[in-house]
Amino acid sequence: MAPVSHDSGPIPRRSASRTARLASLPINAAGRATLGLGKRLSGRSAEEVTLELQQQTAEQIFAVLGQLKGGAMKFGQAMSVFEAAFPEEVAAPYRAALTKLQEAAPPMPVRTVHAVLAQQLGSRWRERFLNFDDHAAAAASIGQVHRGTWRDGRSVAIKVQYPGAGPALMADLNQLARFARLFGMLAPGMDVKPLIAEIRDRVSEELDYALEANAQRTFAAAYAGDREIHVPRVVASAPKVIVSEWIDGLPLSTIIDSGTQEQRNQAGLLLATLHFSGPERARLLHSDPHPGNFRLMADGRLGVIDFGAVARLPEGHPEPIGRMARLALDGQADAVLAELRKEGFVRPNISVDAQATLDYLQPILAPIADDHFRFSRDWMRREAARIADPRSEANKLARQLNLPPAYLMIHRVTIGSIGVLSQLGAEGNFRQILERWMPGFGG
C-alpha cells in the first residue's frame, strides 16, 4: 500500500482502481454469457452452461470483493452469511474466499494508524497503553483492530477507522448497485438491491464509533455476569477509535470450517439466544450476524464483538411476530391471515388464500415446530429454492406479501442468522429459546 497522508488516508487514493475493477464485472459477465450461448448452441445442455456461468461469475465477484475495503468489503461480509443458500457447486469452491471476507483486509500503514490515534486520543495517546502492537490483529470493511495493554494492565482491542472510509464506502456501494442483478446468477431469485440499499442507509451510523461504543456499553451492561453471552466492556472511545477489553475464543468461521458437532451445537444455540434475548434485555438487536463477529470462548460462552450495526427496539421484539408464529404452528390459517393483514404484511386490496398462506409459512417455521431441529445447508437451499422458483406457489404468494418497514431489519437479521446456523449445521432445542425470549410465542 502506498504511503499516504493522515488527511487523505489509504482508501480514497485507491478509489479509481477499485471503481475500474468493479465496473469491469458486468462487461466480463456479459462476455461469459455470450460464450455460454455459443457453447449451448454447440450441443451442451442448458444446465451445464448455467452451472459454468454461475461458477465463473462467482469466481470473479469473490476475487474482486476480496481485494477491496469500503462498501465492497461490507457487502461481501453481508453476503457471506447467505452462502448456505448458494447451489453447492457454486458455494464449495469459494467458501474459503467468503471466510476471508469475514475477517481479513489489507492493513493501513503504521504511520496512518498512529496519526488516527493521535487525532482521536490525543498526542500523548501512547501513555494510555503499557504496550501497543503496530501489526493489525484483524481487519474488516471500515476499520482494523490492534492488540494492546491498557495502562491498568488489561488486554485490550483497539479498533481504528480507516481515514476516508465514508466516501469510499458510498462510492463502492453506488458501483455495486449498478450490477446487483449479477448476483442472481449465484442463487436464482436472490435480490441484493435491498441489502445494498440498507447498508447505504446505515453508513453514517456505522462510521460513528462513538455511537457504536454506546451500543456496546448497553449490551455489556445487559449481559454483565451472564453465563451464556459475554460482551467485552468499552475502556475508551472516540468518533473513530474504540478501545475495549480483549476476548479470546474460537471464531465461528473456524467452527464452520472444522469444528466438532458439540462446538457447532453450542455456538448455534448461543447465537439464537443472543438474537432473541437482545431485544428484551438490551432493547437492541445485534444486526451484523456474520461469523467473524462471534467467538466460542473456553468457558463455553459466546463472545460478541462489533456493534456498529444494531436495531433499536425500545419496546423489545415485536409481540405480533411471536403470536403469528405460534398461530401458524397451531395450524390456525384464518387467524394467521387476519394477523398478517393487521400488521401490514398483506395489503388491504390483496386477496390471498388463508390455507395457501399457512402452507407457505409452515416450512419456514420448521426449526421451532418441535423440540429438536438440525440446520443444514441442504435445508436452507431447499427453502431458498422453494421461494425463489417463479413456477412455485410459494413464489407467487411471496410476491403478494408486503414487508412493513418496521420489520425490515428484524427480517434481514433473522435470515442472516439462519444462514450462519445452516453453515454451522447446528442442532438442538431452538423452540425452547423462543418460548423463553420471544413475546407472544411462549405458552
**Predicted confidence band at 138 (pLDDT cuts at 50, 70, 90)?**
confident
Which pLDDT score is estimated for 108?
Answer: 84
The more confidently predicted of residues 60 and 420 is 420
**Statement to judge: residues 198 and 51 lie in one domain:** yes
In a domain, 27, yes or no: yes
In a domain, 63, yes or no: yes
**How many domains does one find in the chain?**
2
The domain boundary residue, chosen from 175, 204, 233: 204
Residue 189 to residue 181: CA distance in whole angstroms? 10
**Residue environment code for 303-333, b if the CB has 16+ CB neighbours within 10 A, otherwise e:** bbbbbbbbbebeebbbebbbbbbbbbbeebb
- Say which range, 56-65, 226-235, 240-249, 287-296, has the weakest mean pLDDT: 56-65
In a domain, 121, yes or no: no
C-alpha cell at 331: 395450524
**Statement to judge: residues 184 and 326 lie in one domain:** no
Mean pLDDT of 414-433: 95
Which range of residues forms the domain containing residue 27?
10-106+166-204
In a domain, 118, yes or no: no
DSSP notation for 191-238:
--HHHHHHHHHTHHHHH-HHHHHHHHHHHHHHTTT-SSEE-PPEEEEE
Which pLDDT score is estimated for 13?
Answer: 44
**Statement to judge: residues 184 and 332 lie in one domain:** no
Q: Is 112 a residue whose pLDDT tops 60?
A: yes
Count other Cβ atoms within 10 Å, centred on residue 1: 11
Residue 282 to residue 357: CA distance in whole angstroms? 33
Q: Strands 229-230, 143-150: parallel, antiparallel or unpaired by DSSP?
A: unpaired
Residue 123 to residue 16: CA distance in whole angstroms? 33
**Statement to judge: residues 194 and 329 lie in one domain:** no
Per-residue pLDDT of 276-298, as tens digits, reads 999 999 999 999 888 889 999 99
Which pLDDT score is estimated for 10?
Answer: 42
In a domain, 352, yes or no: yes
Which pLDDT score is estimated for 5?
Answer: 30
Q: Strands 143-150, 155-161: parallel, antiparallel or unpaired by DSSP?
A: antiparallel
Residue among 30, 1, 21 at smallest CA distance from 13: 1
Residue 86 to residue 103: CA distance in whole angstroms? 21
Mean pLDDT of 132-147: 88
The domain boundary residue, chosen from 204, 229, 260: 204
In a domain, 423, yes or no: yes
In a domain, 276, yes or no: no
Residue 357 to residue 85: CA distance in whole angstroms? 23
Per-residue pLDDT of 23-69, as tens digits, reads 555 545 545 544 454 554 555 665 566 566 666 666 666 665 555 55
The more confidently predicted of residues 80 and 279 is 279
Mean pLDDT of 375-385: 89
Question: Quick one: 211 exposed, middle or buried, by C-beta within 10 A (0-12, 13-18, 19+)?
Answer: middle
Contacts 24+ apart (CB under 8 A), 221-226: 221/282, 222/278, 222/281, 222/282, 223/281, 223/282, 226/301
Residues 100, 66: contact at Cβ < 8 Å?
A: yes
**Statement to judge: residues 190 and 333 lie in one domain:** no
Number of H helices, E strands in the chain: 19, 14
In a domain, 179, yes or no: yes
The domain boundary residue, chosen from 187, 204, 221: 204
